[in-house]
Amino acid sequence: MSRYLQVAKISWQNALIYKANFIGTSIMNIFRVIAEAAFWAVFFEVSKKDSIGGYTLFSIITYYLLMFIIGTFINANQTGFSIANDIKTGRLSQFLVKPVNYLGYYMSEAISKKLLQLSITLLIFIPVFAICYKNLVFNIVPVQLIFYPLVLSLAFILNYLINVAFSLTAFFVIEITSFFFLQEIIFNFLSGGVFPLDILPKSILGVFRLLPFMYVTYFPISILNKGISTSELFYGIAAQCIWIIVLYIIIKILWRFGIRLYAGTGI
């Protein structure tokens, strides 16, 4: 365990060097919230409706704010990129001889980086929250908050495993870099990053419910923003757990076949 803590410590120190990057990204996200808010403001003014899909203007703004905070924390795409790169360049070999579990290594790195990024993001968003506090909409069922750390942790692990599973295809496909952009766009959309998923027609939403992506960001946000019933909460947690298990199995399979290919052609 102490090995992984060491990794985490070093990653934290490394990440601190890039704190300007994190600050820049957070500021950009604030502008993104403003851009979305401006658009939705126009929409609500023109449609003269009070709400769409259960969202008012302010609950949608709250959605985007939460999305950027929670999404930034959970998003560990960098790991997927690193793994694919390790496989492509042969850097993976040095990990195979080290006394650390490969995925565990990257998990420690991801957790510490993300915690740092979350701290910076929260610091930057606090003034925003302070200004808009009266206008934001939260519908939290207090009892559900007890489960929130669990939901966030599961979401983090789920996102991590999705990225790892995707990156392991680098064992089988030579040039995967361009796929990452595509994956990011699709992932972003399916997890609720472009707009709140439940403004989509129910039939499409039903399909999304069967996929793991919405349990990464949309689900944790909806607990705070729109408020969900107890049964929906447990359904969501169960979906997260099931997908984590499924992805873990997929990763194990990909790894077994991939490492054989890798050992055959690697350094």
Backbone φ/ψ region at 208: left (φ over 0), alpha (ψ -120 to 50), beta: alpha
Residue of the chain from 2, 31, 252, 265 that contacts other proteins (CB under 8 A) = 31
- Whichever of 112 and 183 has its CB closer to other proteins, that residue is 183
The least distance separating other proteins from the CB of residue 43, rounded to whole angstroms, comes to: 6
**Would you count residue 246 as binding other proteins (CB under 8 A)?**
no
**Would you count residue 17 as binding other proteins (CB under 8 A)?**
no
- Whichever of 175 and 231 has its CB closer to other proteins, that residue is 175
Task: List the interface residues with other proteins, window 32-71 (CB under 8 A).
Answer: 32, 34-35, 38-39, 42-43, 46-47, 49, 52
- Whichever of 160 and 208 has its CB closer to other proteins, that residue is 208
Instruction: Tell me how long the chain is.
Output: 267
How many other CB atoms are there within 10 angstroms of residue 119's CB atom? Answer: 13
Question: In the chain, what is the straight-line distance between the N-terminal and C-terminal CA atoms, in Å?
Answer: 30
The least distance separating other proteins from the CB of residue 200, rounded to whole angstroms, comes to: 6
- Whichever of 204 and 238 has its CB closer to other proteins, that residue is 204
Angle at 127 between CA 64 and CA 51, to 5 degrees: 30
Task: List the interface residues with other proteins, window 169-228 (CB under 8 A).
Answer: 175, 177-179, 181-182, 185-186, 189, 194-195, 199-201
Closest CA to 68 of 157, 191, 212: 191
Give 164-224 as a DSSP string: HHHHGGGGT-S--HHHHHHHHHHHHHHTTSSS-GGGS-HHHHHHHHHSSGGGTTHHHHHHH
The least distance separating other proteins from the CB of residue 101, rounded to whole angstroms, comes to: 32
DSSP label at 98? S
**Would you count residue 89 as binding other proteins (CB under 8 A)?**
no
Helix (H) / strand (E) containing 263: helix 230-265
- Whichever of 141 and 186 has its CB closer to other proteins, that residue is 186
Residues found near other proteins in the complex (CB under 8 A): 20-21, 24, 27-28, 31-32, 34-35, 38-39, 42-43, 46-47, 49, 52, 175, 177-179, 181-182, 185-186, 189, 194-195, 199-201
